[in-house]
A and B are shown apart, each in its own frame.
Chain A
């Protein structure tokens, strides 16, 4: 299609404004502002308006309905930094990101490498690993509540593979509830990591791999020295997605553990929701939102900069 269009000679009448365009080369591209305006109004308009509004609300003591909110300055922020629940949520977010990102990277990479090898029925494995990505966390939450419950299938499996000694109510105690949520997140998102790595590995030059083989590199050596550096860009992108994903975690803790037990699975998202909607502390929720926003932006910038640095050093 590209070729045919290029070969078609301009047989039609040259438009009258063509000479004018030639004299002023910078006008060769027509003005584009009207084209980007709908996107700017919809996204930039709505989102920046909301961010600004959130900033204003965060200095109010407001229930979300009353017409005259009380100005309280930075009181909401002070309340926040003095709240152990807030710091607990920050800590859970960090643990959540580090653990799920590491696990997904290892598993996703392993699946991608294995399914690039001569494995039979590769499509079946692909579907099994990827299906969780398309299932809504909200739909799967009741399943996981049962699966990891005291008399759920997880304990049943443990008993039948000889690990009956470690069965416990995984969701009912604060020491294990966060781990269950992380396991669910890994279950849900490994498919995405896998598909992206799978595609990135397809781009690695086969001749480099063959050369390494001829030079005597084994399977492990090939992964560490050729494949892992080769998919670096994907890893950086996934790290960014993972960090922002950890910061916005809401569906899983809210639906599986409601932030409990004892606040053990509280995240910034669950705090914002609980304070804003059921508790009517809209001002406080807004203050936490602003912190979340700053953290998300900072993470994005940090990972972008670090990702670029490493690439140039290599």
Chain B
């Protein structure tokens, strides 16, 4: 976009982008540096020696995987229905769903709290999985419906002429053809579920069920505010996220972009 013909201009651009990027790196440097202060690697050993540490990771994995599975199945079924099947008042249902997009989760706090207690699901994974999935589905349907709208109708008609019913059309056409948008949905849902703080904070009291976003508070209690160990725990929880991003980097960007361009 910028044109830099001379060497000076090229160096200038490189310098500018470096200067702009440094502030983004500083907090991460501070985090690693802080976690190594005092006892150095001893901080990490102390954090890793805390019993039940892996339980936090396990809970996050269980919750994220369940949310992703529910969102994927429900979204694909609904998007196919919205895009290619006959539904009376289709757009009314669609807008009912889209209105949920604007909804901040904190608004659901009081009724979810009361309902979870009266249904006896308080302090179970379900009390986090179901609201998270419900909040992710509208955006996922918006993305997937747009995508399936772009698949030519002739494909489905041909399948029908060949004797495939809607279900077979769904399994053999929609599922394979929607892989790019499914990647986007996977990424969005993963970030949303993995990083969520409020719902686990309110609904999960038993440390054996708590997620990694509650780890810093847990460690502040465990190490009576020993900053170096709290930061070491932050580094340990950040590592899987950074690694996941680096491995899935192309998928991330393609997914985010697929959501943006429509």
- A→B interface (CB under 8 Å): 1-2, 5-6, 8, 10, 12-15, 18, 26-36, 38-40, 42-44, 46-51, 53-54, 57, 64-65, 107, 110-111, 113-120, 125, 127-144, 146-147, 152-153, 157, 187, 190-192, 195-196, 198-201, 203, 209, 213, 219, 222-223, 227, 234, 237, 244, 247-248, 250-251, 255, 268-269, 272-273, 276-277, 282, 285-286, 289-290, 292-293, 296-297, 299-300
B163 interface residue (CB < 8 Å to A): yes
Q: Are B106 and A134 in contact (CB under 8 A)?
A: no
Q: Are B197 and A272 in contact (CB under 8 A)?
A: no
A201: shortest Cβ distance to chain B, in Å? 7
| 13 A-B pairs whose Cβ atoms sit less than 8 Å apart in the complex | A10-B162, A31-B87, A33-B81, A33-B87, A36-B82, A53-B114, A114-B13, A117-B2, A117-B3, A119-B13, A200-B260, A273-B202, A276-B109
Q: Are B138 and A30 in contact (CB under 8 A)?
A: no
Q: Are A247 and B104 in contact (CB under 8 A)?
A: yes
B242 interface residue (CB < 8 Å to A): yes
The 10 closest A-B pairs by CB, nearest first: A32-B85, A35-B81, A248-B104, A199-B257, A39-B78, A53-B111, A32-B81, A136-B195, A117-B2, A138-B213
A135: shortest Cβ distance to chain B, in Å? 6
State the CA gap A199–B80 with chains docked (Å).
Answer: 26
* Chain B residues whose C-beta falls within 8 Å of the C-beta of A138 in the assembled complex: 195, 197, 213-214, 216
B208 interface residue (CB < 8 Å to A): no
Contact residue among A28, A42, A127, A292 (Cβ-Cβ distance under 8 Å from B107) = A292
Interface of A is mostly: helix
Closest to A248 in B: B104
* Chain B residues whose C-beta falls within 8 Å of the C-beta of A273 in the assembled complex: 106, 109, 198, 202
Given known pairs A38-B74, A209-B1, the reply for A292 and B137 (CB within 8 Å) is no
Q: Are B104 and A296 in contact (CB under 8 A)?
A: yes
* Chain A residues whose C-beta falls within 8 Å of the C-beta of B155 in the assembled complex: 2, 5-6
Given known pairs A35-B81, A219-B3, A293-B107, the reply for A2 and B152 (CB within 8 Å) is yes
Q: Are B10 and A40 in contact (CB under 8 A)?
A: no
Which of A5, A115, A130, A187 is most buried by chain B, counting CB atoms within 10 A of its CB?
A5
What is the total number of residues of chain B having a CB less than 8 Å from a CB of chain A? Answer: 110
Per-residue A-contact encoding for B154-166, CB less than 8 Å = 1, 0 else: 1101110111011
State the CA gap A128–B130 with chains docked (Å).
Answer: 33
Closest to A289 in B: B107
Contact residue among B1, B86, B131 (Cβ-Cβ distance under 8 Å from A222) = B1
B54 interface residue (CB < 8 Å to A): no
State the CA gap A14–B164 with chains docked (Å).
Answer: 11
Q: Are A47 and B30 in contact (CB under 8 A)?
A: no
B61 interface residue (CB < 8 Å to A): no
Contact residue among A6, A157, A297 (Cβ-Cβ distance under 8 Å from B26) = A157
Q: Are A43 and B134 in contact (CB under 8 A)?
A: yes
A27: shortest Cβ distance to chain B, in Å? 7
* Chain B residues whose C-beta falls within 8 Å of the C-beta of A18 in the assembled complex: 161
State the CA gap A125–B24 with chains docked (Å).
Answer: 10
Q: Are A39 and B261 in contact (CB under 8 A)?
A: no
B220 interface residue (CB < 8 Å to A): yes
Q: Are A131 and B256 in contact (CB under 8 A)?
A: no
B109: shortest Cβ distance to chain A, in Å? 5
Closest to B202 in A: A277
Q: Are A146 and B34 in contact (CB under 8 A)?
A: yes
Contact residue among B33, B77, B162, B257 (Cβ-Cβ distance under 8 Å from A39) = B77
State the CA gap A175–B126 with chains docked (Å).
Answer: 42
* Chain B residues whose C-beta falls within 8 Å of the C-beta of A132 in the assembled complex: 24, 27
B236: shortest Cβ distance to chain A, in Å? 10
B230 interface residue (CB < 8 Å to A): yes
State the CA gap A142–B252 with chains docked (Å).
Answer: 26
Contact residue among A114, A244, A251 (Cβ-Cβ distance under 8 Å from B16) = A114
State the CA gap A34–B80 with chains docked (Å).
Answer: 11
Per-residue A-contact encoding for B244-261, CB less than 8 Å = 1, 0 else: 111001001100110011
B25 interface residue (CB < 8 Å to A): yes
B23 interface residue (CB < 8 Å to A): yes
State the CA gap A57–B114 with chains docked (Å).
Answer: 10
Contact residue among B13, B138, B238, B253 (Cβ-Cβ distance under 8 Å from A135) = B238
* Chain A residues whose C-beta falls within 8 Å of the C-beta of B77 in the assembled complex: 35-36, 38-39
Q: Are B256 and A196 in contact (CB under 8 A)?
A: yes
A71: shortest Cβ distance to chain B, in Å? 16
B185: shortest Cβ distance to chain A, in Å? 13
State the CA gap A35–B93 with chains docked (Å).
Answer: 12
* Chain B residues whose C-beta falls within 8 Å of the C-beta of A118 in the assembled complex: 4, 10, 13
A156: shortest Cβ distance to chain B, in Å? 9
